[in-house]
Amino acid sequence: MRRAGLVGVPRVRPWSWQAFLLGFVVVAMSAALQGVCVAFGAKLYFAAFLPSLFVLGIIAGAPAAAFAALLTVPLVWWAFIPPFFRFMPLSSAGADSINLFCLLAVLLIGLADLCRETMAMISRGGLKPSGESTATNSQ
């Protein structure tokens, strides 16, 4: 019987230099995609970054995804929030966008970590019964 999981997707050890390098590459690719979206007139500053953080969290773990999220905030502030390619004081809309991104990033990274741990548990054979549980009634 075949186990569930991401078939053909390599997993990187968390806290390794490969994981953080992958995080940097994912941020760069997301920035390029976001640049294309902005060229077409999209005003959603973090649209391309959120799905990539989730996938990065599954593949490389929570530390690399958190690194990518921390790298994303100043990048988007500098490159995509007007005035472009300048650090200026944020408007309330820009600050709200960054706050919402931080909240969603924490939630997505946590969900990706849960998915990663679940896939690891399933690949090890699932949960094994450890004898009699305290929740069962012996009567």
Q: What confidence tens digit (pLDDT) does each residue in 66-96 have?
A: 999 999 999 999 999 988 899 999 999 999 9
Look up tokens 């009567």; give the residue.
139
Pull the structure tokens for residue 92.
């309330």
Q: How far apart are CA 32 and CA 100, in angstroms?
A: 21
- Of 46 and 130, the structure prediction assigns the larger pLDDT to 46
Predicted local distance difference test score (pLDDT) of residue 18: 95
Averaged confidence pLDDT in the chain? 88
* Res. 2: pLDDT tops 60: no
Tell me: pLDDT of 47 over 50: yes
Please check whether residue 47 is in contact with residue 37, taking contact to mean a CB–CB distance below 8 angstroms: yes
Distance CA(15)–CA(37), nearest Å, equals 32
Statement: residue 22 has pLDDT above 90: yes
Query: What confidence score (pLDDT) does residue 1 get?
Result: 37
**pTM confidence score:** 0.83
What b/e string do you get for 82-104 counting C-beta neighbours within 10 Å, with b at 16 or more? Answer: eeeeeeeeeeeebeebbeebeeb
Query: What per-residue confidence (pLDDT) applies to 43?
Result: 86
11 has pLDDT over 90:
no
Q: Is 42 helix (H, G, I), strand (E, B) or coil?
A: coil
116-132 pLDDT, tens digit per residue, is 999 888 888 877 766 65
10 has a pLDDT exceeding 80: no
pLDDT score at 121:
86
Say yes or no to pLDDT of 59 above 70. Answer: yes
Q: Three-class SS of residue 63? A: helix
